[in-house]
Amino acid sequence: MASDFETRLRAVSLRVTRPRLAVLTALRDHPHVATDTVIALVRADQPTVSHQAVYDVLRALTDAGLVRRIQPARATARYELRVGDNHHHVVCRSCGAIADVDCAVGHAPCLTASDHHGFVVDEAEVVYWGTCPGCATARTSQ
Ligand SMILES: [Zn+2]
Ligand SMILES: [Zn+2]
Ligand SMILES: [Zn+2]
């Protein structure tokens, strides 16, 4: 799998470094995690990597399009490897759990504006909000 990440890094002209590979691996194994979690995962494997280095790696990977950054309202930014497919997210209001929802249309913008006001619209930001199964169970058993 590391060699696949090396290929992806080279494809966007980024040098292959151990912190970059560690961040990509962490996001492969743990989609939709916040920066703090990425730092903890990377440092569990490479204790010498600084917080700042992880921030820098996340920014470089996001800028290069290898990582998608999402930020639901009132939540901290989360990162994932699934890019370029315009998928959406369902977010639990209680615990913040996030899951992927395939875009029914498959490309942006997947909603037609009733009035585009002359703008060239290229994206509709869709976030589904609700209660995850775990929180729903906890609520009914109280
Ligand atoms: Zn929940
Ligand atoms: Zn996602
Ligand atoms: Zn959609």
**Would the CA dihedral through 35, 36, 38, 42 be positive or negative?**
positive
Q: Rounded to the nearest whole angstrom, what is the distance from the C-alpha of residue 124 to the centroid of ligand 2?
A: 15
Q: Rounded to the nearest whole angstrom, what is the distance from the C-alpha of residue 99 to the centroid of ligand 2?
A: 6
Which pLDDT tens digits describe the chain residue by residue (142 residues)?
A: 457 999 999 999 999 999 999 999 999 999 999 999 999 999 999 999 999 999 999 999 999 999 999 998 888 899 999 998 999 999 999 999 999 999 988 888 999 999 999 999 999 999 999 999 999 998 888 7
Residue with tokens 């901290």: 76
- pTM for the complete prediction? 0.87
Residue with tokens 């169970």: 137
Long-range contacts of 10-15 (CB under 8 A, 24+ apart): 12/64, 12/65, 12/66, 13/64, 14/60, 14/61, 14/64, 14/66
**Longest CA–CA separation in the chain, Å:** 53
Q: Rounded to the nearest whole angstrom, what is the distance from the C-alpha of residue 38 to the centroid of ligand 1?
A: 21
Neighbours of ion ligand 1 (CB under 5 A): 92, 94-95, 97, 132, 135
Backbone angles phi, psi at 21, to 5 degrees: -65, -40
Q: Give the number of the ligand closest to the Cα of residue 67.
A: 2
Neighbours of ion ligand 2 (CB under 5 A): 80, 100
